[in-house]
């Protein structure tokens, strides 16, 4: 009797399960995208959101039987706001992952939160090496500044520069860029005469540029976060540095695709190193650029847009690999060692460091069809961040 009623209960339960099964397969998996959409770094958020949305538009929103929903938050470029959004996305929205992070301090601000919650956090922009060491739940699809700075140090040394000055924004990625540049340039026999740093907020570059000019180096190495590049390069041009006998170089942040046409023809010929150019010659990139422009009239994708695209790709592939299981540790494990073709070229998530391994291109600003582009002419294949132990 008891047995029978247990059996009846079990059958009833099974029937009930069968009945609710379609609802389970319609389950939504949420991803929180924390972007900087207002303030001086707003160009960063605009690109990131456009790249992530385009990935979903072209690849659908069903993954491993689950419906993917993107929740977009604006952190205004303020670390406390980034952290609050991360907490709310985790606790209230029950997201399976968070992504975004335009500036290094914004990524660092969520490290304790994601570690405690075992929440995957996909870095789509921020480039200071140490970030991925601050939590085992960070996975980076963007770049690191040392990864980009070493190849340009080698290139400029090989092309005859004996002395250099660097000028960077005074925070994590700038310090990383400056130190990596100096290390490799001096290994190659060059000498860095001075390492100049300008404040990140409301920078006035002129006195630093004048100092650099007075030092008469063979090369001037520059880094600022991409949305600040227009302001920096205007002052570089106004100070006559592109006409002085100084080779102006930098990471691709200073000639990024979003700002480049606005900077103008004075930077024709300027050489930088970076992992992405909208002019990258591949079938996938041509399609990416065309679709991006179609979906975002008046915009051209830059490296931040491609970071948004690849961040979504990393998440989609991880969720496929776990068969829809959203356990944070399993998702991060699934991203380790992942390798795929991005519009930038081939990329891999280093299984040890969770940081990106990718080609770094040497490019020169040229005019194509009436617009300025970074045209790739040399490449260092599959570069790992040189700072991680």
Residues 262-291 that bind ligand DHB (CB under 6 A): none
- C-beta closer to ligand DHB: residue 101 or 316: 101
How big is the chain by its Cα radius of gyration, in Å?
23
Q: CA geometry: angle at 255 spanning 191 and 277, to 5°? A: 110
Location of structure tokens 């209960």:
9
Binding footprint of ligand DHB, residue count (CB under 6 A): 13
Residue 276: both structure tokens together: 């992405």
Taking CB under 6 A as the rule, does residue 126 contact ligand DHB? yes
Structure tokens, 343: 């519009």
Binders in 164-183 for ligand DHB, by CB under 6 A: 173
Taking Cα atoms as reference points, which of 188, 191, 186, 189 lies closest to residue 164? Answer: 191
> Which stretch in 100-108, 261-269, 321-329, 372-380 sits in contact with ligand DHB by CB under 6 A?
100-108
Q: For ligand DHB, which is the closer residue by CB, 331 or 347? A: 347
Dihedral in degrees, nearest 10, Cα atoms 81, 82, 88, 90: -170
Distance CA 143, CA 276 (A): 10
User: Looking at beta carbons only, is 52 or 126 nearer to ligand DHB?
Assistant: 126
Q: For residues 130 and 244, which CB has a smaller minimum distance to ligand DHB in the complex?
A: 130
When binding is defined by CB under 6 A, the residue of 124, 152, 226, 349 that contacts ligand DHB is 226
User: Minimum distance from CB of 311 to ligand DHB (Å)?
Assistant: 15
Q: Which stretch binds ligand DHB (CB under 6 A): 102-110, 269-277, 319-327, 373-381?
A: 102-110
Q: Answer yes or no: are the C-beta atoms of 219 and 244 closer than 8 Å.
A: no
Instruction: Out of 120, 127, 190, 308, name the contact with ligand DHB by CB under 6 A.
Output: 127
Smallest distance, Å, CB 339 to ligand DHB? 24
Shortest reach from residue 126's CB to ligand DHB, in Å? 4
For the chain, the straight-line distance linking the first and the last C-alpha, in angstroms and rounded, comes to: 67
Residue 342 near residue 335 (C-beta atoms within 8 A): no
How many other C-beta atoms are found inside a 10 Å radius of the C-beta of residue 177?
30
Is 305 a binder of ligand DHB (CB under 6 A)?
no
Assess 100 for contact with ligand DHB (CB under 6 A): no
- β-strand 356-368 against 345-349: which pairing, if any? antiparallel
Interacting residues with ligand DHB (CB under 6 A)? 44, 102-104, 125-128, 173, 225-227, 253
């Amino acid at each position: 009797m008891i047995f029978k009623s247990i059996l009846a209960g079990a059958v009833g339960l099974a029937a009930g399960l069968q009945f609710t099964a379609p609802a389970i397969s319609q389950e939504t998996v949420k991803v929180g995208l924390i972007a900087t959409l207002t303030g001086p770094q707003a160009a960063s958020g605009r690109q990131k959101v456009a790249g992530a949305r385009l990935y979903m538009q072209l690849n659908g929103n069903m993954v491993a039987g689950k419906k993917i929903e993107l929740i977009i938050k604006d952190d205004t470029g303020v670390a406390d706001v980034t952290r609050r959004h991360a907490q709310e996305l985790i606790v209230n929205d029950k997201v399976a992952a968070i992504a975004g992070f335009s500036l290094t301090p914004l990524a660092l601000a969520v490290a304790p939160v994601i570690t405690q919650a075992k929440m995957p956090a996909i870095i789509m922009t921020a480039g200071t090496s140490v970030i991925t060491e601050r939590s085992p739940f960070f996975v980076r699809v963007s770049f690191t500044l040392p990864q980009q700075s070493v190849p340009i140090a080698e290139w400029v040394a090989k092309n005859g520069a004996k002395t250099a000055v660097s000028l960077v924004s005074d925070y994590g990625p700038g310090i990383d860029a400056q130190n990596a540049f100096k290390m490799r340039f001096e290994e190659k026999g060059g000498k860095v005469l001075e390492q100049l740093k300008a404040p990140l907020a409301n920078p006035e570059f002129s006195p630093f540029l004048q100092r650099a000019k007075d030092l008469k180096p063979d090369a001037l190495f520059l880094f600022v976060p991409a949305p600040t590049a227009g302001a920096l390069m205007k002052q570089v041009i106004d100070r006559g540095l592109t006409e002085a006998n100084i080779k102006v170089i930098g990471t691709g942040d200073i000639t990024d695709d979003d700002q480049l046409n606005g900077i103008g023809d004075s930077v024709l010929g300027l050489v930088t190193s970076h992992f992405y150019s909208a002019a990258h010659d591949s079938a996938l990139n041509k399609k990416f650029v065309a679709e991006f422009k179609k979906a975002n009239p008046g915009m051209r994708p830059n490296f931040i847009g491609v970071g948004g695209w690849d961040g979504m790709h990393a998440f989609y592939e991880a969720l496929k690999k776990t068969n829809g299981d959203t356990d944070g540790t399993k998702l991060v494990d699934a991203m380790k060692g992942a390798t795929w073709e991005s519009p930038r070229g081939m990329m891999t998530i280093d299984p040890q460091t969770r940081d990106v391994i990718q080609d770094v291109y040497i490019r020169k600003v040229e005019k194509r069809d009436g617009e300025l582009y970074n045209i790739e002419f040399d490449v260092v294949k599959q570069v790992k961040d040189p700072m991680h132990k």
